[in-house]
Amino acid sequence: MSYFIGVDISKKHLDVCFLKEEDKRFQRFINTAQGIKLLLQELSCKEVSLVVCEPTGGYEEEVCQALREQHYGIHLVNTLAFRDFAPSVHLGKTDRLDSYKLAFYGQKFMLAPKQNFMDKNLKALVQRREDLTRMTGDEKRRLEHAQGDIREDLRQHIDFLDILIQRLNDKIETLVDSQESLKRKAEILRSTPGIGKCLSAKLLGHLPEMGEQTLSLKQLASLVGIAPFSRDSGSKSRHRFIRGGRKIPRDALYMAVLTGRKSIPFLQNVYDRLIAKGKPKKVALVACMRKMLAILHAMLKENREFEILH
């Protein structure tokens, strides 16, 4: 029987639970290169089924990269799903307990390793461009009501931010072109009406699971935050709702649907049909986003570019 490894990751420590059937053992490592090396040495003498971690705002990236290089299967849990599950194991919360909950979560549901991981550099560049774009929008809104010397200061800052954004665009394009797999995925995405260089980079950088053979559309939609959840209880049946997910790829799909919907008859038919039924425009747009995601997911799975069927 192999081990399920739960790793609770913080800025300073890696709290690890080694779970084999009912037996569990705990160990703490420092979250540094030396600590990660010691963790790998400990794992090397065990048969490891899966390493289960929780995203922690970037602190998990170095240890996950090291584990991938040693060919360990890794599963980064969905935070909302795991946090709903965790109290059923134990109401207490410590780093040690959390590592056990992660290991047990992987064992209980027989989680599979995730094959596609975010390109760290691409993700960082896309995130930085998002930050600067948001900052530019804020400055432009301030410019509308600014007077005197402040107006000139704002204009100079906006021009400077535009230069930085263009530099980031060039770096993103160079990075995508330098990796054959990323370049091919970008070509497939950009063949779709409504998706250009900017939106394709957002999807590649923040939704690398798209196109994964073992991932269902429902799972992918949950990652993005556009999967409808029910709120039924007894005889009451409430409206479905969407919750959580990754904001950057969700925003990218929204813009892709807005700009490309009319060029894709299938999406336009979905939108028109829902509007005719009296559904709000926002509901119709989210439905189109799910359909667009399904199209892109299938295209990447089959390694083929977009084509409109007549």
Instruction: Please give the pLDDT value at position 255.
Output: 96
Instruction: Please give the pLDDT value at position 310.
Output: 53
Instruction: Please give the pLDDT value at position 55.
Output: 86
Measured on CA atoms in the order 142, 256, 291, 249, is the torsion positive or negative? negative
Instruction: Please give the pLDDT value at position 245.
Output: 86
Instruction: Please give the pLDDT value at position 231.
Output: 63
DSSP assignment letter at 241: B
Instruction: Say what percent of the chain tops pLDDT 90.
Output: 75
> What pLDDT digit, counting tens, does each position of 182-208 carry?
999 999 999 999 999 999 999 999 999
Instruction: Please give the pLDDT value at position 12.
Output: 95
> What pLDDT digit, counting tens, does each position of 43-66 carry?
999 999 999 999 887 888 899 989
CB 203 within 8 A of CB 296: yes
Give the β-pairing of 23-30 and 13-20: antiparallel
Between CA 241 and CA 260 the distance in angstroms is 24
Average pLDDT on 6-15 reads: 96
Instruction: Please give the pLDDT value at position 236.
Output: 61
Confidence category of residue 308, pLDDT binned at 50, 70, 90:
confident
Between CA 110 and CA 50 the distance in angstroms is 9
Q: Is the confidence at residue 229, as pLDDT, over 90? A: no
Measured on CA atoms in the order 200, 206, 210, 213, is the torsion positive or negative? positive
Confidence category of residue 235, pLDDT binned at 50, 70, 90:
low
Distances (CA, A) of 97 to 18, 24, 25, 26: 12, 11, 11, 9
Instruction: Please give the pLDDT value at position 61.
Output: 86
Average pLDDT on 218-237 reads: 77
Sheet containing 3-9: which strands, arranged edge to edge? 23-30, 13-20, 3-9, 48-53, 74-76
Q: Is the confidence at residue 293, as pLDDT, over 60? A: yes
Instruction: Please give the pLDDT value at position 17.
Output: 97
> What pLDDT digit, counting tens, does each position of 124-135 carry?
999 999 999 999
Instruction: Please give the pLDDT value at position 16.
Output: 97
> What pLDDT digit, counting tens, does each position of 149-182 carry?
999 999 999 999 999 999 999 999 999 999 998 9
Q: What does pTM read for this prediction?
A: 0.75
